[in-house]
Amino acid sequence: MSGLSRYGGWALITGASSGLGREFARQIAAEGVNCVLVGLGQDALNALANELGEKHGVTCRPLEVDLASDDAVSDLAERLADLPIRILVNCAGVAHGGAFETRNPDKLKQLVQLNCLAPLLLTRALLPQMLERQAGAVIIVSSLQAFISCPNEAAYCASKAFLMHFGESLWGELKNTPIDCLTVCPAGMKTDFFKAEGFSQADCDRMWRFSSSPEDIAKLALRDLGRKTISAPLMTRFSAFLARILPRRWAIAIVTRVTRGLVDHKQL
Catalytic residue among 107, 109, 160, 266: 160
Residue 84 burial class via C-beta count within 10 angstroms: exposed 0-12, middle 13-18, buried 19 and up: middle
* DSSP three-state, residue 189: strand
User: pLDDT by residue for the chain (268 residues), tens digit each?
Assistant: 448 999 999 999 999 999 999 999 999 999 999 999 999 999 999 999 999 999 999 999 999 999 999 999 999 999 999 999 999 999 999 988 888 999 999 999 999 999 999 999 999 999 999 999 999 999 999 998 888 888 888 999 999 999 999 999 999 999 999 999 999 999 876 555 555 555 555 655 555 555 678 999 999 999 999 999 999 988 788 777 777 777 777 667 766 766 665 554 444 4
Question: Residue 60 is part of which domain span?
Answer: 4-264
Structural domain count, the chain: 1
Expressed in angstroms, the distance from the first to the final Cα of the chain is: 41
Q: Which residue in 156, 190, 228, 266 is the catalytic one?
A: 156
Q: In what order do the strands lie in the sheet with 60-64?
A: 60-64, 35-39, 10-14, 85-90, 136-141, 179-184, 230-231
Identify the three-state secondary structure at position 184.
strand
Question: CATH number for the domain including 187?
Answer: 3.40.50.720
Half-sphere exposure of 218 (CA within 13 A, CB side): 22
From the list 106, 110, 95, 94, the residue with the least C-alpha distance to 154 is 95
* Catalytic residue check, 7: no
Catalytic residue flag (residue 156): yes
What's the DSSP call for residue 125? H
Burial of 82 (0-12, 13-18, 19+ CB in 10 A): exposed
Alpha-carbon dihedral 239, 243, 249, 253, rounded to 10 degrees: 0
Which amino acid appears at position 83 of this protein?
L
Among residues 173, 182, 176, the alpha carbon closest in space to that of 137 is found at 182
